[in-house]
Amino acid sequence: SGQYHLACRTAANAVVGGISVSGSTTNHLTSSDYRLKTDVQPMTGATARVKLLKPCNFEWIVDGTRMDGFLAHEAQEVVPESVQGTKDAMRDEEYEVTPATDTEDAVMGTRSVPDLQGIDQSKLVPLLTATIQELISRIEALEGE
């Protein structure tokens, strides 16, 4: 029915995104209504920024599968809003050193573990779209001569 199955809300209870199902599709949505924005300006220099991106093919350590994508910290240099986290960040994690027994509580410890970065590749779409538009304009200008 197009209703959210999972809605993401602000502290003021405003919906700012979610997951919805419509027919045979699943939609991952983020707010984009013009009424939430100010100082809207056309993008410029997109082609130069795209040239800074470093798409790569890599193998996942966990299962050896290969795929195309980006390294988060490299994409963050060009499109910061596409990445969450900090390169090489660590976080403390509590873990059980010695399990509990019938007579004694578990002995707990703290260790430092990687705080991994994540990328939202959909945040690259506006930059890629603006680049395509810039390139189309250049092609049309060359063909018009």
- For residues 16 and 2, is the Cβ–Cβ distance under 8 A? no
pLDDT 10s digits, 72-116: 999 999 999 999 999 999 999 999 999 999 999 999 999 999 999
pLDDT 10s digits, 112-134: 999 999 999 999 999 999 999 99
> With the CA atoms of 43, 44, 47 and 52 taken in that order, what torsion angle do they form, in degrees rounded to the nearest 10?
-80
Residues 6+ apart with CB under 8 A from 110: 92, 93, 94, 95
The pLDDT assigned to 1 comes to: 42
Q: What percentage of the chain carries pLDDT values higher than 90?
A: 77
What is the pTM for the complete model shown? 0.79
pLDDT 10s digits, 52-76: 999 999 999 999 999 999 999 999 9
The pLDDT assigned to 3 comes to: 66
pLDDT averaged over the chain? 92
